[in-house]
Amino acid sequence: MKEKLNAFNTLLIDCPALTAPRFKIDSRGRPAQG
């Protein structure tokens, strides 16, 4: 699980636009708008 979180954190760093307040992760750990 931590590995997935680390990969996702890297993605956020690579894509600052995804760090918008509206950007969240759903219960499945997948990116979800809203």
* Residue 4 pLDDT exceeds 70: yes
Higher local confidence (pLDDT), 20 or 10: 10
User: 31 burial class (0-12, 13-18, 19+ CB within 10 angstroms)?
Assistant: middle
**DSSP string over 1-34:** -HHHHHHHHHHHHH-GGGGSTTEEE-TTS-EEE-
Mean pLDDT of the 6-20 span: 62
Mean pLDDT of the 6-32 span: 61
pLDDT value of residue 1:
64
